[in-house]
């Protein structure tokens, strides 16, 4: 049975030590981790119908500009980078470990780790009450990656694009359904205008579309009820969120999986090519920056301006376009992610802000802790059982909170890692995965 094992495979599986970590991967992860709060903060702090208000109002407000910037440059990209690094992390985790003859296999450790992650996700959603949790989905998606860990980067990229295509197909199926309803609605309206008696089907079509439009209109009673709930105690919000969480975990897993797994495949490919580990030339990163931003930013603006903002007049939008703008959302995301990653690596290589890079690497190394901490900090800041600031800030003011959390996490991570080998939740996660208390303090470790 030793025929397939090389001589080195004698050491036991164990967590990746500090020396083996790839700094640029940590830095990009740190940026993604901080950046993800840009997208999550409205979910924590404000009723989502604010978007309707901002977009249908004047375009000269700070709120509108903030939203435009966020949507054009960042929407979906931080999640995208995070997914990419998750995919890359999977390879690093499995390939850095050697099999112990007769012992638990690396695959089992990997799957244990993910099953714990799923559980952490459930806790983050149901207990810490963050309805936008992604850990749950990452845990599940990660389980599908293992057989691809040795696949060639080229094929991984193809797989990623295939997943994009599946997502696009789903979007298109849904959109053409909508267009069909709209067509039937028009026919019914026309029949009504001609004073014809409506058939049962026509009446149904009329009601269906009107219901859909009605659901999109902000209902102030509904908003007040929601905000009231968010200002209540823990038990109320806990109960209030149960159906939301189960709904989003159900449909997110079944329909949203393509969004994440596509980027994970591409991240695995990028690691394979050495892109994330700073192994390609500077000109490649420059190209990545130019192409990524050159294509991603204009697409981002169009999808925001024409697609997102345009579709607030839903009927007219459906009449006007055969396909929705956000059909190409994933490609926009991919290009912007490429741009962001290139920019970060270029800054890293130019060594202009080494202290910031070190800080970001620390944040990235403790990404799991920091992600959960964002939930803890933000729920305590906004929800009723904490400081109760829900829906009290203006949209752009939310980003002051983001800034403060960033500063806190940069400092906290740097201080923590001065004394400890892992972030607190990383330590817990590792200990659970290996079913053994892991060394935590730096000085009792392997002399790092």
Partner 1 sequence: MYLKGLSDSVAKTNTIMTPTHSETPATAIPSSTPALPLPNSRLVSLDVLRGVAVLGALFISVWIFGGFSNNQQNGLLLKSKGYDYRLFGTVDLLLNGKMRALISLVFGAGMVIYFFSHVKKDQSKAGDYFTRRYMWLMLLGLVNALVFLWTGDMLFHLGVMGILLFPFVRMSKKGLLIAALVTTLIYCGKFYWDFADDRKKYNKFLLVQAAEKKITEKAKKDSIDNIGRKDTSARVMKDSLGKDLKKDSLAVKKDTLTKEQKRDKGAWEGIVNQMKFDPKKDEGERKSVRKNSYGRLWNHFLPTLQSKEAQWTYQKGIWDFASMILLGMALFKMGFFSPGFSRRNYWLLALAGISLGLLLGWFRLHYNQITLQDYGKYIERHWVPYNFFFPLERAFTALGYAGFILVIIGSNALNRFWRGLAAAGQMALTNYLLQSIICTLVFTGFGLGNYGRFSQTLLYLTVLEISLVLVVFSVLWLRHYRYGPAEWLWRCLIYRRWLPNKLDAGGEASATATVIS
- Among residues 152, 146, 150, 125, the alpha carbon closest in space to that of 137 is found at 125
Give the chain's count of helices (H) and strands (E). 18, 0
Contact flag: residue 107 with partner 1 (CB under 8 A): yes
Q: Tell me how many residues contact partner 1 (CB under 8 A).
A: 38
Residue 167 CA to residue 119 CA, distance in Å, equals 26
Residue number with CB closer to partner 1 (246 or 350): 246
Q: Nearer to partner 1 by C-beta: 108 or 213?
A: 108
> Of 157, 115, 162, whose CA–CA distance to 140 is shortest?
115
For residue 306, count CB atoms less than 10 angstroms from its CB and return exposed for 0-12, middle for 13-18, buried for 19 or more: middle
Residues in 215-254 at the binding interface with partner 1, rule: CB under 8 A: 221, 246, 249-251, 253-254
Is residue 414 within 8 A of residue 362, CB to CB? The reply is: yes
Task: Please report how close the Cβ of residue 104 comes to partner 1 at its closest, in angstroms.
Answer: 6
Q: What six digits make up the tokens of 9?
A: 């495979």
The pair of three-digit structure tokens given for residue 81, joined into one six-digit string: 């980078």
Residue in 179, 358, 160, 184 with CA at minimum distance from that of residue 262: 160
Token pair of 32 as six digits = 């993604």
- The stretch near partner 1 (CB under 8 A) out of 4-12, 63-71, 82-90, 155-163 is 4-12
Segment interacting with partner 1, rule: CB under 8 A, options 31-39, 97-105, 199-207, 323-331? 97-105
Q: Which is nearer to partner 1, 48 or 251 (CB)?
A: 251
62/105 with CB nearer partner 1 = 105
Distance CA 235, CA 183 (A): 45
The yes or no reply on residue 213 touching partner 1 (CB under 8 A) is no
Minimum Å gap between C-beta 404 and partner 1 is: 36
Instruction: List C-alpha distances in Å: 211 to 101, 172, 329, 395, 433.
Output: 63, 21, 27, 28, 48
Nearer to partner 1, 252 or 359 (CB): 252
**Dihedral-angle region of residue 370 (phi above 0 means left; psi in -120 to 50 means alpha; beta otherwise):** alpha
CB of 219 to partner 1, least distance (A): 9
Tell whether residue 144 is a contact of partner 1 (CB under 8 A): yes
Nearer to partner 1, 255 or 279 (CB): 255
Binding string, residues 247-276; x marks residues near partner 1 by CB under 8 A: --xxx-xxx---------------------
Return the residue of 13, 42, 80, 296 that touches partner 1, per CB under 8 A.
13
Q: How far apart are CA 24 and CA 353, in angstroms?
A: 14
Q: Judged by CB under 8 A, does residue 434 bind partner 1?
A: yes
The one segment of 44-52, 139-147, 182-190, 400-408 that binds partner 1 by CB under 8 A: 139-147
Q: How far apart are CA 391 and CA 375, in angstroms?
A: 17
Strand partners, 97: none
Would you call 355 exposed, middle or buried from its count of C-beta atoms within 10 A (0-12, 13-18, 19+)? exposed
**Shortest distance in whole angstroms from residue 71 CB to partner 1:** 28
Query: Which one of 7-15, 179-187, 269-277, 335-343 is the stretch in contact with partner 1 (CB under 8 A)?
Result: 7-15
Asked if residue 408 binds partner 1 (CB under 8 A), the reply is no
Segment near partner 1 (CB under 8 A); pick from 2-10, 56-64, 226-234, 378-386: 2-10
For the bound state, the minimum distance from the C-beta of residue 106 to partner 1, rounded and expressed in Å, comes to 7
| Contact call for residue 103 and partner 1 (CB under 8 A) | yes
CA dihedral 197, 202, 206, 212 (to 10 degrees): 170
Footprint of partner 1 (CB under 8 A): 1, 4-5, 9-10, 12-14, 99-112, 115, 143-144, 146-147, 221, 246, 249-251, 253-255, 434-436
């Amino acid at each position: 049975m030793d025929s397939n094992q090389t001589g080195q495979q004698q050491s036991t599986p164990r967590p990746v030590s500090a020396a083996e970590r790839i700094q640029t991967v940590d830095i990009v992860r740190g940026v993604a981790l901080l950046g993800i709060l840009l997208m999550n903060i409205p979910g924590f702090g404000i009723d989502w119908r604010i978007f309707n208000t901002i977009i249908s109002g004047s375009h000269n407000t700070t709120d509108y500009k903030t939203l435009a910037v966020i949507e054009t440059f960042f929407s979906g990209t931080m999640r995208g980078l995070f997914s990419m690094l998750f995919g890359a992390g999977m390879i690093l985790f499995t390939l850095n470990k050697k099999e112990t003859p007769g012992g638990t296999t690396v695959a089992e450790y990997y799957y244990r780790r993910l099953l714990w992650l799923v559980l952490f996700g459930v806790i983050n959603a149901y207990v810490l009450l963050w309805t936008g949790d992604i850990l749950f989905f990452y845990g599940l998606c990660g389980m599908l990656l293992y057989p691809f860990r040795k696949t060639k980067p080229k094929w991984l990229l193809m797989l990623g694009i295939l997943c994009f295509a599946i997502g696009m197909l789903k979007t298109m199926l849904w959109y053409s359904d909508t267009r069909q309803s709209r067509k039937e609605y028009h026919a019914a309206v026309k029949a009504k205008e001609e004073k014809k008696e409506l058939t049962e089907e026509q009446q149904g079509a009329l009601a269906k579309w009107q219901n859909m439009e009605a659901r999109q209109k902000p209902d102030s009673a509904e908003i007040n009820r929601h905000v009231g709930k968010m200002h209540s105690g823990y038990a109320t919000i806990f109960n209030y969120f149960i159906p939301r969480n189960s709904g989003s975990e159900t449909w997110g897993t079944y329909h949203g999986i393509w969004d994440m797994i596509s980027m994970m495949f591409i991240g695995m490919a990028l690691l394979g090519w050495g892109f994330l580990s700073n192994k390609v030339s500077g000109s490649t990163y420059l190209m990545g920056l130019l192409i990524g931003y050159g294509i991603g930013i204009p697409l981002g603006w169009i999808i925001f301006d024409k697609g997102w903002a345009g579709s607030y007049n839903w009927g007219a939008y459906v009449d006007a376009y055969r396909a929705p703008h956000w059909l190409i959302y994933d490609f926009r995301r991919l290009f912007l992610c490429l741009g962001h990653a290139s920019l970060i690596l270029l800054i890293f290589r130019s060594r202009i802000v080494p202290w910031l890079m070190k800080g970001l690497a620390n944040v990235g190394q403790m990404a799991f802790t920091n992600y959960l901490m964002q939930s803890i900090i933000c729920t305590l800041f906004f929800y009723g059982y904490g400081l109760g600031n829900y829906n009290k800030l203006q949209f752009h003011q939310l980003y002051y909170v983001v800034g403060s959390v960033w500063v806190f996490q940069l400092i906290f991570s740097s201080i923590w890692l001065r004394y400890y080998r892992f972030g607190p939740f990383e330590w817990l996660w590792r200990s659970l995965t290996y079913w053994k208390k892991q060394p935590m303090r730096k000085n009792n470790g392997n002399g790092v």
